[in-house]
């Protein structure tokens, strides 16, 4: 092996999955020199196939890949279906229930991660990031004050070094360098489960229009996910309690089939299906101890995003959402420091506070969701309590599991904004027709007591539409920052803004 000269970048991203691709793209779009070092060669297998609308219509829109994702042929997901809780009957929610997601984009996708991740990584390269696959980061360059860069090997085995103002660890739960932030990984005392999963062809689908929904079914020892990835291919996984670990020991084929037999819904859906036994989907895999969070998400010169920082039980498919959202938050902090001279401590304190809050929303709600003796209405109420959502219980639930409970406008699709703006204009026109005549003479109905109130509301709606819709974002805490109008940086909140978002 030979040594090579040290290279210099603004940002080095370790890992090219959704978290790494997101932060790399948004930093490169801001004009910064970005290097992505990915150990594997894409496309490569990865679990975590069910997306949320916040990723599809929020982050992917900001990345510039929303159209490519829509044209990729992924299965459309309108919501989720559960056989869960006290009721023996399955229940379904739809993303369209939420006013923040209603409209033509009130859906997400079930994706083959090999294809989805490859789209995001290729896009990062198109947007200006230098992407090197088959490069393994072996260590950090650091001193007592900060992380200054990384050491890595190229495909030939040569040792190399890249110095950077920021190192972002997006290398997943097996990260080799996450301890560089000087924190420890703490595993959840509540979610100590084991997942056993594989892939099947020919499995049954839910009735239309919910055929593309994820289906989750609880049984005595845990629960199953059932994710349709195409007309034929289905991802099937059992999540069992730690005390049931003996059930996933030994032959994985026998263990998975035995668990399927114990869950009547899964047995029925898979009665005519065959397990895939070749190719990237031919292996039965196990993952354990997967709910955790780091005690620190950043230190000067370095931050953790995605699974390198934290992960939570997958029942609501929050993995890719937390990955891409954390990538967005990190990119904002990087851009704010490099472009505007914001103090690093302040920018990344905002990153960590918002990232922990989003993780905390899912964590706190999932503790309630694992109470199996209640019905779905109790789950909806628990979501409202956790999120402090002013809307109905079901809307609070859908906002949370759709990834928009943070209230961030950047995570809401343009169509949702346009829909509310259009509704405001239609409402205003209707009020005008009721309240007056073309010649300015007030009609009889215009003299009725409720009309002035309608006119006031119409005026408020029109004002909100003219300002780009959706409520003005408030800081997370007193003295906190808010996203810029384009969502790519942090900025000071308007001086008139005194309301803050309650942390979870």
448: pLDDT confidence band, cut at 50, 70 and 90?
Answer: very low
Percent of the chain with pLDDT over 70: 86
- For residue range 362-412, what is the model confidence (pLDDT) as tens digits? 999 999 999 999 999 999 999 999 999 999 999 999 999 999 999 899 998
Write down the pLDDT at residue 414: 62
DSSP label at residue 197: E
**Do 427 and 457 touch, CB atoms closer than 8 A?**
yes
- For residue range 187-222, what is the model confidence (pLDDT) as tens digits? 998 888 899 999 999 999 999 999 999 999 999 999
Side-chain-facing half-sphere of 53: CA atoms under 13 Å: 33
Write down the pLDDT at residue 263: 96
Looking at the predicted structure, is the pLDDT value of residue 1 above 70?
Answer: no
| Mean pLDDT over each residue of the chain, to the nearest integer | 88
Looking at the predicted structure, is the pLDDT value of residue 256 above 90?
Answer: yes
Answer with the residue of higher pLDDT: 472 or 133: 133
Q: Which two tokens stand for residue 269?
A: 């859906």
**Do 297 and 351 touch, CB atoms closer than 8 A?**
yes
Nearest to residue 366, comparing CAs of 58, 84, 77?
84
CA angle 407/412/415 to nearest 5° reads 145
Looking at the predicted structure, is the pLDDT value of residue 282 above 80?
Answer: yes
Contacts of 416 (CB under 8 A, 6+ apart): 57, 99, 100, 101, 102, 103, 105, 470
Omega prior to 43 cis, within 30 of 0: yes
- For residue range 86-135, what is the model confidence (pLDDT) as tens digits? 988 999 999 999 999 988 889 999 999 999 999 999 999 999 999 999 99
CA distance 295 to 307: 14
15: pLDDT confidence band, cut at 50, 70 and 90?
Answer: very high
3-state secondary structure (DSSP) of residue 308: helix
């Amino acid at each position: 092996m030979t040594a090579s000269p040290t290279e210099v970048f603004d940002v080095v991203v370790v890992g090219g999955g959704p978290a790494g691709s997101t932060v790399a793209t948004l930093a490169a779009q801001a004009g910064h020199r970005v290097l992505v070092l990915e150990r594997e060669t894409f496309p490569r297998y990865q679990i975590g196939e069910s997306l949320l609308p916040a990723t599809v219509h929020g982050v992917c829109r900001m990345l510039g890949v929303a159209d490519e994702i829509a044209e990729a042929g992924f299965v459309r997901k309108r919501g989720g279906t559960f056989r869960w809780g006290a009721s023996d009957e399955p229940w379904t929610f739809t993303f369209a229930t939420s006013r923040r997601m209603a409209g033509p984009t009130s859906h997400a996708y079930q994706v083959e991660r090999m294809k989805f991740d490859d789209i995001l990584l290729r896009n990062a390269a198109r947007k200006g990031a230098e992407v090197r696959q088959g490069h393994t980061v072996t260590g950090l360059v650091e001193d007592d004050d900060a992380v200054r860069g990384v050491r890595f090997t190229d495909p030939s085995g040569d040792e190399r070094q890249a110095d950077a103002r920021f190192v972002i660890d997006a290398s997943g739960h097996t990260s080799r360098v996450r301890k560089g932030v000087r924190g420890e990984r703490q595993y959840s005392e509540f979610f100590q489960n084991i997942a056993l999963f594989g892939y099947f062809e020919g499995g049954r689908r839910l009735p239309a229009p919910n055929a593309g929904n994820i289906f989750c079914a609880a049984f005595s020892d845990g629960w199953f996910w059932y994710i349709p990835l195409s007309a034929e291919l289905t991802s099937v996984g059992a999540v069992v309690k730690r005390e049931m670990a003996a059930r996933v020991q030994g032959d994985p084929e026998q263990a998975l089939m035995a668990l399927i037999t114990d869950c009547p819904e899964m047995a029925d859906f898979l009665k005519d299906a065959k397990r895939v036994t070749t190719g990237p989907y031919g292996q039965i895999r196990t993952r354990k101890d997967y709910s955790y969070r780091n005690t620190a998400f950043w230190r000067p010169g370095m931050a953790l995003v995605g699974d390198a920082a934290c992960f939570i039980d997958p029942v609501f498919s929050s993995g890719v959402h937390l990955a891409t959202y954390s990538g967005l938050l990190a990119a904002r902090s990087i851009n704010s420091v490099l472009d505007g001279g914001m103090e690093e401590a302040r920018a990344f304190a905002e990153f960590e506070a918002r990232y922990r809050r989003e993780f905390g929303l899912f964590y706190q709600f999932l503790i309630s969701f694992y109470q199996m003796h209640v019905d779905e209405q109790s789950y909806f109420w628990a979501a409202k309590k956790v999120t402090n959502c002013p809307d109905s219980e079901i809307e609070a639930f859908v906002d949370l599991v759709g990834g928009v409970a943070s209230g961030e406008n950047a995570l809401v699709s343009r169509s949702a904004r346009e829909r509310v703006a259009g509704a405001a204009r239609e409402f205003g026109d209707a009020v005008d027709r009721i309240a007056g005549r073309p010649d300015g003479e007030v009609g009889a109905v215009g003299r009725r007591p409720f009309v002035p109130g309608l006119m006031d509301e119409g005026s408020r709606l029109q004002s909100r539409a003219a300002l780009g819709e959706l409520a003005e974002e408030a800081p997370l805490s007193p003295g906190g920052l808010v996203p810029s109008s384009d969502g790519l940086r942090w900025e000071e909140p308007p001086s008139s803004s005194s309301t803050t978002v309650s942390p979870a």
